[in-house]
Chain A
Amino acid sequence: MRRAPLPPDTLDATDRAVLNRLQEGLPITHRPFAEAAESLSLSEAELIDRIARLREIGAITRFGPFYDAEAMGGAFCLCAMEVPPARFEEVVTLVNALPEVAHNYERTHRLNMWFVLACEKPDGVTRAAQRIERETGLKVLCFPKEKEFFIGFRVTA
Chain B
Amino acid sequence: MNIDATDRRIIAATSGGLPLAPAPFAEVANWLGLSEDEVLARVAAMQAAGVIRRIAVAPNHYALGMVANGMSVWDVDDAQVDLLGPKVGALDFVSHCYRRPRALPGWPYNLFAMLHGSTREEVAAKRETVAALLGPACRGHDILYSTRILKKTGMRLSGEG
Contacts and interface: CB of A to CB of B under 8 A. Distances in A.
Interface in A1-52: 1-6, 19, 22-26, 28-34, 44-45, 48, 51-52
B57 A22 contact: yes
Nearest to B111: A149
A25 B56 contact: yes
A157 B64 contact: yes
7 contacts: A60-B59, A61-B152, A66-B52, A99-B156, A108-B147, A143-B112, A149-B86
Given A33-B22, A99-B156, A147 B55 contact: no
B79 interface: no
A71 B97 contact: no
Contact of B64 (A1, A59, A108): A59
A86 interface: no
User: Which label, helix, strand, loop or mixed, suits the secondary structure of the B interface?
Assistant: mixed
A2 B40 CA distance: 32
Contacts of A99: 156, 158
Contact of B56 (A33, A66, A151): A66
Interface in B21-67: 21-26, 36, 40, 43-44, 46-47, 49-67
Interface residues of B, number: 77
Interface in B84-106: 85-86, 88-90, 94-101, 103, 106
Contact of B57 (A4, A19, A73, A152): A19
A105 to B, nearest CB: 4
Contact of A102 (B40, B56, B100, B153): B153
B16 interface: yes
Contacts of B1: 71-72
A58 interface: yes
The 6 lowest CB-CB distance pairs between A and B, nearest first, are A150-B89, A153-B95, A25-B54, A64-B17, A149-B85, A149-B89
B133 interface: no
User: Which label, helix, strand, loop or mixed, suits the secondary structure of the A interface?
Assistant: mixed
Nearest to A45: B22
A31 B52 CA distance: 19
Interface string A129-157: 00000000000010111111111110101
Given A145-B98, A151-B95, 13 more contacts: A19-B64, A23-B59, A52-B20, A59-B59, A62-B17, A65-B52, A95-B150, A99-B158, A104-B152, A108-B144, A145-B100, A149-B99, A152-B53
B56 A155 contact: no
A92 B63 contact: no
B5 interface: no
A42 to B, nearest CB: 13
A156 to B, nearest CB: 9
Contact of B40 (A29, A55, A152): A29
Contacts of B64: 5-6, 19, 59, 155, 157
Find the residue from B55, B103, B116 having the highest chain A CB count within 10 A.
B55
